[in-house]
């Protein structure tokens, strides 16, 4: 990140710090939860693209139903409901794929480096063994 800012300054280009900090935070979250960085992949269906969609669709959009319950039908007309469903489905598919990757690697590799998904899968395995 520092190198990118330095090069932009040398070239006299503008620096979008909000985008850089968002990328760094997504990299940290991705590495700690999923074990690797998924943000730098070139797709809207990766962790970084999906997190940006969630922030835009869920946080930055005005939802009539939340404020005026009787006007909830407007959210359907504006496309908010369809966008939320699409983003939710894409996020679920991405996370399901990540869990499947961890489950397949879990059977083959017993390394000391575990991320949050590995820990949760271990807990699930132990819980199922108790029942």
d(CA 46, CA 65): 29
Q: Nearest to residue 28, comparing CAs of 44, 48, 42, 43?
A: 48
- The pTM of the full predicted model, rounded to 2 decimals, is 0.69
Distances (CA, A) of 102 to 33, 52, 56, 111, 124: 11, 24, 29, 12, 13
Distances (CA, A) of 22 to 2, 9, 27, 49, 130: 14, 20, 9, 11, 41
Give domain limits for the chain.
2-130
Q: Nearest to residue 61, comparing CAs of 43, 75, 41, 46?
A: 75
The alpha carbon of 81 is separated from its chain's Cα centroid by a whole number of angstroms, namely 19
Per-residue pLDDT of the chain (131 residues; tens, 9 = 90+): 788 888 888 888 888 888 888 888 888 888 888 877 765 544 556 777 888 888 777 788 898 999 999 999 999 999 999 988 988 899 899 889 888 888 887 766 666 678 888 888 889 888 888 86
């Amino acid at each position: 990140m520092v190198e990118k800012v330095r090069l932009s300054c040398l070239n006299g280009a503008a620096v979008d710090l909000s985008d850089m900090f968002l990328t760094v935070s997504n990299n940290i979250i991705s590495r700690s939860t999923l074990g690797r960085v998924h943000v730098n992949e070139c797709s809207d269906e990766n962790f970084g693209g999906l997190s940006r969609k969630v922030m835009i669709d869920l946080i930055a959009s005005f939802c009539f139903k939340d404020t005026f319950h009787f006007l909830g039908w407007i959210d359907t007309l504006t496309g908010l409901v369809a966008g939320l469903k699409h983003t939710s489905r894409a996020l679920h598919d991405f996370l399901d794929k990540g869990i499947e990757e961890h489950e397949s690697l879990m059977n083959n590799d017993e390394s000391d480096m575990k991320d949050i998904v590995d820990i949760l899968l271990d807990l699930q395995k132990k819980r199922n063994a108790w029942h």
